[in-house]
Amino acid sequence: MSKVKVASFGVSVDGFGAGPRQSLDNPLGVGGPSLMQWFFPTRTFQQMHGGGGGDIGIDEDFAARSFVNVGAWILGRNMFGPVRGPWPDESWKGWWGDEPPYHVPVFVLTHHARNPVEMQGGTTFHFVTDGIYAALDAAKKVAGDRDVRIGGGVNTVRQYLQAGLVDEVHLALSPTLLGEGETLLSGIDLVALGFKCTEHAVSPHAMHVVLSK
């Protein structure tokens, strides 16, 4: 049965899922890249960016798993790009170049309508102005019996968690402190939402925790 998942989501020891002051130069916020130092060396990440090699092991296992059986993604506006407010034009097509790493339909939450953007490699960005439920309905329809992955950012993940719409969460707790930024789980009662820790593993770069209903 298909699931709604959050996967490979980096979190600091002090609970932040993104740093402050996100911008074109700092897409993860100031200090945010430290959350993903476990991910960048993996074979999965290197292949996403056209490289060869890459590390194997626990981090690679979780990175690779996060892309298995995914039939659609949902992203917040900030995860698609740094443009805020009404779209000035349609020149911005994401952080990832001509061939993004998704290879399936991606539904971007936004308050401002825009035509779909078809990219190389099977990715098409659809812009949803009717909220999280509409985006999830559309994603489930195209995903069929495959999973829907909530890619972030922090606010988007929080909305889906608070609405009780997420079945599984994989967090990578990175050994870093940000001090400020966007908190991921503050005020969210995971126990009341029905989650239990069903898996955990430690690498030199992160503690991986899987929470499932």
- Per-residue pLDDT tens over the stretch 23-72: 878 888 888 899 999 999 999 989 887 777 888 999 999 999 999 999 99
Distance (Å, whole) CA 39 – CA 46: 9
Query: Is 4:150 a contact under the CB 8 Å cutoff?
Result: yes
Q: How long a stretch of residues is the chain?
A: 213
Expressed as residue numbers, the domain containing 194 is: 4-83+99-212
Q: What pLDDT, in 10s, does the model give residues 18-31?
A: 998 888 788 888 88
Adjacent-strand bridge partners of 199: 210
Distance (Å, whole) CA 36 – CA 34: 5
Q: Is residue 67 domain-resident? A: yes
Query: Which percentage of the chain shows pLDDT scores above 90?
Result: 79
Structure token pair of residue 96 = 């990832």
| Conformation bin of residue 53: beta by default, left when phi > 0, alpha when psi is -120 to 50 | left
Instruction: Provide the 10 A C-beta neighbour count for residue 46.
Output: 16
Q: What is the DSSP string of 134-192?
A: HHHHHHHHHHTTSEEEEEE-HHHHHHHHHTT--SEEEEEEES---SSSEESSTT--TTT
Question: Residues near 188 by Cβ (< 8 Å), separated by ≥ 6?
Answer: 158, 161, 162
* pLDDT classification of 84: cutoffs 50, 70, 90: confident
Q: Is residue 93 domain-resident? A: no
What pTM, to 2 d.p., does this model score? 0.94
Distance (Å, whole) CA 77 – CA 36: 20
Distance (Å, whole) CA 85 – CA 87: 6
* pLDDT classification of 213: cutoffs 50, 70, 90: very high
- Mean pLDDT score of the chain: 94
Distance (Å, whole) CA 38 – CA 109: 27
Question: Residues near 114 by Cβ (< 8 Å), separated by ≥ 6?
Answer: 87, 90, 127
Q: What pLDDT, in 10s, does the model give residues 166-209?
A: 999 999 999 999 999 999 999 999 999 999 999 999 999 999 99
Mean pLDDT check: name the lowest of 14-18, 39-43, 94-98, 149-153.
94-98
CATH number at residue 156: 3.40.430.10
| Domain count for the chain | 1
Q: What is the mean pLDDT of residues 77-83?
A: 88
Q: Is residue 170 domain-resident? A: yes
Q: Is residue 171 domain-resident? A: yes
Q: Is residue 104 domain-resident? A: yes
- 131: amino acid identity, one letter: G
| Beta strand pairing call for 168-174 and 4-12 | parallel
Query: Is 187:52 a contact under the CB 8 Å cutoff?
Result: no
Q: Is residue 135 domain-resident? A: yes
Q: Is residue 92 domain-resident? A: no
Q: Is residue 90 domain-resident? A: no
